Amino acid sequence: MKQILIILVGLSLGFTTTIFATNPPPVAAKLPSDFKQEIAKHINFPSFARSNLIEGVVTMRLTLDDSSMVRIIELDSSNPELGEYVRTELSDLTIKNTSFQPGNIYYMKVRFNLVSGF
């Protein structure tokens, strides 16, 4: 009886996984290097993080709207303060003359490391 129950649970989990695998989330486009450089101009290692020895990683999905403003679609951070810092720094950022296409979704990861900086 135990073996039948284990097999049924395994099959139901396998079926659920198959359903999710057939509908993967949209893939982000490759981040153009000129856009990455523009973002790097606006994000520095924050002084509060350096003085408190805070390191972390901020990952985000970004897009550019029709008026060339950067919009954060989703942001995840290993440290909430670093996440809010990045969100604030990019909140009013307008980027023109870049290969960053309006409407495309891009993925970017920012590492804050005390040894190497940003």
Domain ranges of the chain: 33-112
Per-residue model confidence (pLDDT) at position 51:
94
Backbone dihedral region for residue 32 (phi beyond 0: left; psi -120 to 50: alpha; all else: beta): beta
pTM of the predicted structure, to 2 decimals: 0.70
Token digits of residue 79? 């440290």
What pLDDT digit, counting tens, does each position of 45-101 carry?
999 999 999 999 999 999 889 888 999 999 999 999 999 999 999 999 998 877 777
Could you give the 3-state DSSP secondary structure of residue 23? Answer: coil
Supply the CATH classification number for the domain 33-112.
3.30.2420
Report the percent of the chain where pLDDT is more than 70: 73
* Distance between CA atoms of residues 74 and 71, nearest Å: 9
Residue 118 CB neighbour total at 10 angstroms:
11
- Indicate the pairing of strand 70-77 with strand 56-64: antiparallel
For the four alpha carbons of 66, 43, 46 and 86, in that order, the dihedral sign comes to positive
Q: What is the mean pLDDT of the chain?
A: 78
Q: How confident is the model at residue 39 (pLDDT cuts 50, 70, 90)?
A: confident
Give percent of the chain with pLDDT exceeding 90: 42
What pLDDT sits at residue 117? 61
Residue 46: per-residue pLDDT: 93
